A and B are shown apart, each in its own frame.
Chain A
Amino acid sequence: MAKYLLLKHYRGGPAAVNDVPMDRWTPEEISAHMQYMHDFAARLEGTGEFVDGQALAPEGTWVRYDGEGRPPVTDGPFAETKDLIAGWMVIDVDSYERAIELAGELSAAPGAGGKPIHEWLEVRPFLTAPPTITE
């Protein structure tokens, strides 16, 4: 029982095999991709492994504290930001191997030409609650 984040990047990861930007796909290919993602989440709900899935807008704002009584400073978005997160899925699975297996399936979502994108997904374990028995 461990939670993993399957992290999808707009950029920052290695290039996918079928690396064609989504706006060059046909509308049908986009629909097929969305359907695949939806079916994948639904299947994980059925297996009792789904926790959460979210997509993020590509453009964000950088914010920092600017001292007592002042409004926070904002900046960006920065075009040069290397690592840009597109979204994630959180799964709760019995093993690391299972997390890798599922990430592999998610990476097979169809893209241009209806072929798998083979995109790189980042798998990150959640930090858990501490165990009760320690020695």
Chain B
Amino acid sequence: MDEALLRSLTPTVLGVLVRRGADFAAAEDAVQDALVEALRVWPADPPRDPKGWLVTVAWRRFLDATRADAARRRREDLVDEEPAPGPVPAVDDTLQLYFLCAHPSLTPSSAVALTLRAVGGLTTRQIAQAYLVPEATMAQRISRAKRTVSGGRLDQPGDVATVLRVLYLVFNEGYSGDVDLAAEAIRLTRQLAAAIDHPEVAGLLALMLLHHARRATRTAPDGSLVPLAEQDRRRWDTTSIAEGVEILQAALARDRLGEFQAQAAIAALHADAPTAEETDWVQIVEWYDELTRLTDSPVVRLNRAVAVGEADGPRAGLAALAALDDSLPRHAAVAAYLHERDGDLATAARLYAEAARRAPNLAERDHLTRQAARLNARWGR
């Protein structure tokens, strides 16, 4: 069964129900029921018209739920005069759904969960597994999110930036369970790019594609991290890189630079280098300067210090680092790397060990511990 097709129909089906008069929360529940039913029934009995099937089943579920809910008896009116499924501007509906699910009144985790369910068509169980929380907890998180936005309407313009932040989170965080969240984020961003013409949407899509292209080489078979400079570049996905570069170039040509385009430009320069030594670090530093102007984020300044270290030598990198607060996440790791490049192995080993203690995830901690151990073995402790 084509689960991707099934999921891609979710926002359209939801849009149909809302246009027929169902409120967002009830319609979303009904669509979720229909998706779960489709996952059960379609493998043995695939429908000829998947979208029509989903609309029919979801609408029936909505009516059943409405009938069952005595407090909502007023909606019986809808039952009696079921509207014909007239022409539906599916693209607009989809865009409005993105805005609603990323509404600024939602916390990031709620917006992520709601987007994955209402726009992405994932089941609550799949989302719960991806974020390693009990299904009951995820169900509550989603229903609270729906209550929060239920006053919102589907015809109000939203803020693209909030939607992009949610999609970025889906791409960047989460565990690889049954659902490939990175691939799902790319699919959702692609779908968004089809619904709205916006250079930052294109920038984020390019950024995702360029990073996704390197995915197979980012971890060794044993799960340990492989740093960019040591990745096997012959295994990078050139199709994905080419698509990302093309999307990025078209976006940059419109001269409305934003942070995702700048980040994608940096990723493109890495993707473009046949070997790590041939990386155009001077241009990368320039893009980090642009990013600093756009975001003024300390994390960007930290990454810039690494790039400066590559472009102008480790001393220059350390000088750039000296201006930054050493409590920043990964500050010690960057300092360790620059000190090692500068030949101060004792300091580097000490800083790698400190960085390992402060690492926010297991893979990074193990990687940093190995770096410290490697230097300690060479340096003789």
Contacts and interface: CB of A to CB of B under 8 A. Distances in A.
Interface of A: 1, 3, 45-52, 92-94, 125, 127-135
B361 interface: yes
B324 to A, nearest CB: 16
Contacts of A134: 218, 228
A88 to B, nearest CB: 15
A132 B361 contact: no
Interface in B132-146: 132-134, 136-142, 144
Interface string B119-159: 00000000000011110111111101000000000000000
B68 interface: no
B38 to A, nearest CB: 25
Interface of B: 107-110, 112-113, 131-134, 136-142, 144, 169, 171-176, 182, 207, 211-212, 215, 218, 225, 228, 263, 266-267, 270, 303, 306, 359-365
Given A1-B109, A135-B266, A49 B173 contact: no
A92 B270 contact: no
A130 B363 contact: yes
Contacts of A125: 360
B108 A94 contact: yes
Contacts of B218: 134
Contact of B172 (A46, A51, A133, A135): A133
A45 B267 CA distance: 40
A51 B133 contact: yes
A46 B134 contact: no
User: Majority SS of interface residues in chain A?
Assistant: loop
Per CB-CB distance, the 6 closest pairs between chain A and chain B, nearest first, are: A48-B141, A1-B109, A48-B140, A130-B363, A127-B362, A128-B361
A45 B137 contact: yes
Contact of B109 (A50, A52, A94, A135): A94
A24 to B, nearest CB: 35
B144 A127 contact: no
Given A48-B142, A48-B144, A92-B131, A131 B173 contact: yes
B228 A45 contact: no
A83 B79 CA distance: 63
A129 B137 contact: no
Contacts, number: 88
Nearest to A131: B172
B144 A47 contact: yes
27 contacts: A1-B108, A1-B109, A3-B132, A45-B140, A46-B140, A47-B141, A47-B144, A48-B110, A48-B137, A48-B142, A49-B141, A51-B132, A51-B133, A51-B134, A93-B109, A127-B359, A128-B360, A128-B361, A129-B174, A129-B363, A130-B362, A131-B172, A132-B211, A133-B207, A133-B263, A135-B303, A135-B306
A49 B267 CA distance: 35
Contacts of A94: 107-109
A45 B136 contact: yes
B134 A50 contact: yes
A1 B112 contact: yes
Contact of B138 (A3, A48, A128, A133): A48
Q: Identify the interface centre among A45, A48, A52, A131: most chain B CB within 10 Å of its CB.
A: A48
Contacts of B139: 48
Contacts of A130: 225, 361-364
B131 A1 contact: yes
Contacts of A133: 171-172, 207, 211, 263
Nearest to B108: A94
Nearest to B362: A127
Nearest to B175: A129
Given A127-B362, A133-B171, A92 B140 contact: no
Given A92-B132, A129-B174, A132-B172, 11 more contacts: A46-B144, A48-B137, A51-B132, A127-B359, A127-B361, A128-B360, A132-B182, A132-B215, A133-B207, A135-B267, A135-B306
Contacts of A127: 359-362, 365
A14 B174 CA distance: 35
Nearest to A92: B133
A129 B138 contact: no
A1 B173 contact: yes
Contacts of B112: 1
Nearest to A93: B109
